Amino acid sequence: MWNNIFEAIDAQYENMVHTRRYLHQHPEVSFEETETAAFIQQTYDRLGIPYEKNVGGNGVLATLKGGKPGKKIALRADFDALPIHEENDVEYKSKVDGVMHACGHDGHTAALLGLAEAILPFQEDLPGTIVFLHQHAEEYAPGGAKPIIESGALEDVDAVFGTHLWVNTPTGVIQTTKGPFMAGADRFHITVKGKGGHGAIPHQTKDAIVIASQVVSSLQQIVSRRVNPLDTAVLTVGTFESGDAFNVIADSAFLTGTVRTFRPEVQELIIEEMEKVIKGACTGNDADYEFDYFKGYTPVVNHEKEASLILQDAPKADASLTTEEVEPVMAGEDFAYYLENKPGAFYFTGAQIPEHYYPHHHPKFDFDEKALPHAAKTLIQAYRSYQEQT
């Protein structure tokens, strides 16, 4: 049966591409994905697979109960887009100004829907129950995973698996690791409040740009000089906004950025040290400040047994696939919350276009659509492996 399922997934390739390109042309940002959710629901209506809608927000959970006894396993795909204006010149370019699928979530959805259609004819021979978990709002904290869990919709699920199309990895390569895999992802805002004035009379001002520049420079020393070198952390200032004219000293500056960590102790240390740095720079220059820190997604920590199933068994789904156990990455993912509640694992499905490589969240991001069946096959192989494990 399983080989027939893998062949049926291959037969869904053109359908997956069509679905992916339709979704790519009609992106919706986090928490606003009503039309995307409706499209997913219409697909399950056509297939006759029952589903719950509006789960935890815009989430859609479809359930296919097999004809044989077994475990209930969720397979997750996210479906939100990003507030980025697309710069690709392709026939399936986004039709929504300032919004695009710049992370592959359109592909995740297409792969899971294609899997659902491919496996439906094998329902009676299928052990256990598949939950096709379509999650909204992965890109922006607090995200969609947490409210889906809080809804109770996954309480009777035995395990959960998910994958991310990954353009940093060649097509045909599956990557994951046992234990910590992706970092916790936080966000911060800093406002420096000085005193503006004429650019020719600096001694009568409190230059917010100069003060904020000191803050930026000193923040970089937290990871290099305060965090244990054996721990992993990233502190990045992403935006610096200040000033309106070339000859005016700004009275305020606004900084935003992100912190990535794997351990809560390191996270708390960085928050404490940031407060010291900001307060010190502002106090020394007789300025005021506001510091807002938003704790985001927790780290993605794979369960060892389930991650091992991915590494060992993914090639059973397709002989062309290879697996690699890799070092953790500092990107964040709210799949972390599923793994805090259920056994499971998250992994990368290689989808690189060598001649058109742009990273995730870039306006020219795109991925190799040949990876779509790889994602679907490895998800159902993870389901199979978990069913068969003793």
Calculate the average pLDDT of the chain. 97
Confidence of residue 193 (pLDDT cuts 50, 70, 90): very high
Average pLDDT value for residue range 14-41? 98
Give the residue numbers of the binding site. 103, 105, 139, 164, 361
Strands of the chain, DSSP E: 51-55, 59-65, 68-78, 127-135, 159-170, 173-176, 179-182, 184-193, 197-198, 233-242, 248-249, 252-261, 288-297, 300-302, 322-325, 344-352
Are 208 and 250 contacting, i.e. CB atoms less than 8 angstroms apart? Answer: yes
Distance CA 326, CA 330 (A): 13
Catalytic residue annotation: 80, 138
pLDDT, tens digit, for every residue of 45-83? 999 999 999 999 999 999 999 999 999 999 999 999 999
Residues sharing a CB contact under 8 Å with residue 174, sequence separation 6 or more, in sequence order: 310, 311, 314, 321, 322, 323, 324, 347, 348, 349, 350, 374, 378
Confidence of residue 390 (pLDDT cuts 50, 70, 90): low
Instruction: List, as residue ranges, the binding site for Mn(2+).
Output: 103, 105, 139, 164, 361
Q: Tens digit of pLDDT for each residue in 28-49?
A: 999 999 999 999 999 999 999 9
Instruction: Place 361 in a pLDDT band, splitting at 50, 70 and 90.
Output: very high
Closest Cα to residue 193, out of 276, 289, 281, 286? 289
Q: Any idea what the Cα angle at residue 157 is, between residues 31 and 153, rounded to 5°?
A: 40
Tokens 């965090």 correspond to 227
Would you kindly state where each structural domain of the chain is located, as residue ranges?
Answer: 2-181+299-388, 184-297
Instruction: Report, as an integer, the average pLDDT of 198-218.
Output: 97
Residue 38 three-state SS: helix
CA 350 to chain centre: 15
Q: What is the CATH number of domain 2-181+299-388?
A: 3.40.630.10
Name the one residue in this structure whose structure tokens are 């991650």.
307
What pLDDT, on the 0 to 100 scale, is given for residue 176? Answer: 98
What pLDDT band is residue 250 in, cutting at 50, 70 and 90?
very high
Residue 109, class by beta-carbon neighbours within 10 Å (0-12 exposed, 13-18 middle, 19+ buried)?
Answer: buried
| Three-point CA angle 60, 173, 368, nearest 5° | 65
At the topology level, CATH places domain 184-297 in Alpha-Beta Plaits (3.30.70)
- pLDDT over 70, % of the chain: 100
- Does position 162 have pLDDT exceeding 80, yes or no? yes
Q: Which two structure tokens, joined as six digits, stand for 40?
A: 């997913």
The predicted structure's pLDDT at residue 2? 96
Q: Cβ neighbours of residue 32 under 8 Å, at least 6 residues apart?
A: none
